Structure 1
């Protein structure tokens, strides 16, 4: 049998499940990260890429950062440029859903193929080290006095930290439409603005700010979790009398037009990666909560999240 015929036979058997994934050579994965370097999506995507290679699920992983519009620019590039590509992945999550709700981009997430939810992460609000404010109570007092004077820095409009800021305002009796939210294209830009004192208060995932909190360059004043995070001595908003709890999850989608066997193969690759020691190390290092979900359950979860976020944002005056 000719070599090319043999390889085609192997591919056909693998696609039908007759051969396990490892019977074929590991693929070269292309990872689209719809954000600038340095943010939560970037950290997640690169950690997953390393895990894919360390677990031998992928031979190589290349990364392409395309930030802007809460991931909508990257989503458009992914949808238009990777159709039927069984080795393409795009990082996404709650932020992208919020951005789609507020921005109404011409492309839709439903055009791509759901693969897996990976992790969940709560937001932390921080102050620059030299801020005249010391606590969330100080920020709230100023917010009540003059809402526009408090600059909230974070990710794109519709990001979970944006939603949380609007919810905080609403809970303390301030019109959420009056908050002064400064959106940045990526976590790196937001971090620089906070460190430079260009915003009053910043919000993002704990993994992005943890190094700066640890070395004293940022002061953490509240987390959006139900209870204090393990090993992180930062009070929740709830225990400070502000009834706000909101999580930020991240996952991956595949290209448009994948067949059922291709979707399963890509899902199996991701599941192999998240079982690796490399991925477990990243979860621990970044204070992530494992939240793996695949298949129809993930499809339903995304639909439910769209509905839930839309309701929260409408109630908070954001849409």
Structure 2
């Protein structure tokens, strides 16, 4: 073989090897299709592809239930020994582990990247007599049991937000009638058909239904009003000292090699700076909340302590 031919063959093999190195990744989405975790994972990998950062095959798996703990438990079992296996998770998972007495230990997984923060909104049926958040809280205070409120998993940020609202209004948290839903769409259905008096969820899961006139948003858990919801007051503006966000991020499998983790940290860092991802954030109404690697691991540890303390203070856990 001539030198030039050998070099061409070697170069081609190098390209093939590089492609094989990023040919396939398994991604656990520990929720039903259409929810926030599902959207975060699929949108992130679509943007990675569009930006040319990762163009290999992605195998998604949905496994909902118990605030993500069922999916993460399956992820822990099924992805053992796989170098490129990732899972989406978030603030909901932290509280769900405590309330469901799950054996999942987040510190065992490999922290890759925190991607987004999404604030929450409380909504009622479009023709509800509750025109303001104050109106709703009056009804809640008068008869908590007769005021069912839907949201995500028990102990998740939706549940915590309602508990904080109740605390701020002087409503006993144990008396709340909180009904966990499978997803944001299910919460909207409950609001519209009257089985729920209100619902709490992320902005992206409710905004479309509000624009369609099916529900009315009464408040948002941000510090200041959002441009996308300029007519919606914050909880604080309405007199209730509540500010909370649902963050979402990416974990690597328990035995992911460090070299692979660093490669994914680099990819998600590039993603956070890409126009493709910025377009996703704007479209979905997500706030950028990027943090990578060990710093993200420290955040998870700190957030676990904070959320568990809120659950105890609200009487949701011992």
State whether TM-score is above 0.5: yes
1:118 partnered with 2:115: yes
1:175 partnered with 2:172: yes
Q: Which residue of 2 aligns with 1:144?
A: 141
Deviation for aligned residue 1:116 = 0.5
Per-residue CA distance 1:151-188 (angstroms, 9 max, x = gap): 11000001111001011111111111110000012233
8 Å CA contact retained: 1:152, 1:180: yes
Q: Tell me, which stretches of 5 or more residues in structure 2 are unaligned?
A: none
Q: Aligned pair in 2 of structure 1 residues 196, 63: CA closer, same or farther (>3 Å)?
A: farther
Q: For 1:143 and 1:190, locate their aligned partners in 2 and report how far apart those are by CA, in whole Å.
A: 18
Q: Which residue of 2 aligns with 1:66?
A: 63
Corresponding residue SS for 1:243: coil
1:41 partnered with 2:37: yes
Q: Aligned pair in 2 of structure 1 residues 62, 273: CA closer, same or farther (>3 Å)?
A: farther
Q: For 1:201 and 1:39, locate their aligned partners in 2 and report how far apart those are by CA, in whole Å.
A: 18
8 Å CA contact retained: 1:31, 1:63: yes
Give runs of aligned pairs for residues 240-259 of structure 1, distance below 5 A: 240-259=238-257
Deviation for aligned residue 1:288 = 1.1
Given the alignment, which residue of 305, 308, 315 partners 1:307?
Answer: 305
1:226 partnered with 2:218: no
Q: For 1:42 and 1:206, locate their aligned partners in 2 and report how far apart those are by CA, in whole Å.
A: 15
Q: Which residue of 1 aligns with 2:157?
A: 160
Q: Which residue of 2 aligns with 1:280?
A: 278
Greater mean deviation of Cα atoms: 223-232 or 64-73: 223-232
8 Å CA contact retained: 1:70, 1:185: no
Q: Which residue of 2 aligns with 1:290?
A: 288
Q: Aligned pair in 2 of structure 1 residues 236, 280: CA closer, same or farther (>3 Å)?
A: same
Moved over 6 A (4+): none
8 Å CA contact retained: 1:71, 1:92: yes
Q: Which residue of 1 aligns with 2:206?
A: 209
Deviation for aligned residue 1:25 = 5.1
1:30 partnered with 2:30: no
Given the alignment, which residue of 42, 49, 52 partners 1:53?
Answer: 49
8 Å CA contact retained: 1:10, 1:24: no
Aligned-pair Cα RMSD in Å: 2.2
Q: For 2:153 and 2:28, locate their aligned partners in 1 and report how far apart those are by CA, in whole Å.
A: 18
The two structures have a TM-score, normalised by structure 2, of 0.90
Give runs of aligned pairs for residues 121-136 of structure 1, distance below 5 A: 121-136=118-133
Q: For 1:78 and 1:105, locate their aligned partners in 2 and report how far apart those are by CA, in whole Å.
A: 14
8 Å CA contact retained: 1:48, 1:274: no
Corresponding residue SS for 1:231: helix
1:93 partnered with 2:90: yes
Q: For 1:129 and 1:85, locate their aligned partners in 2 and report how far apart those are by CA, in whole Å.
A: 48
The two structures have a TM-score, normalised by structure 1, of 0.90
Deviation for aligned residue 1:194 = 2.3
8 Å CA contact retained: 1:155, 1:185: yes
Corresponding residue SS for 1:156: coil
Q: For 2:263 and 2:23, locate their aligned partners in 1 and report how far apart those are by CA, in whole Å.
A: 11
- What is the aligned length? 306
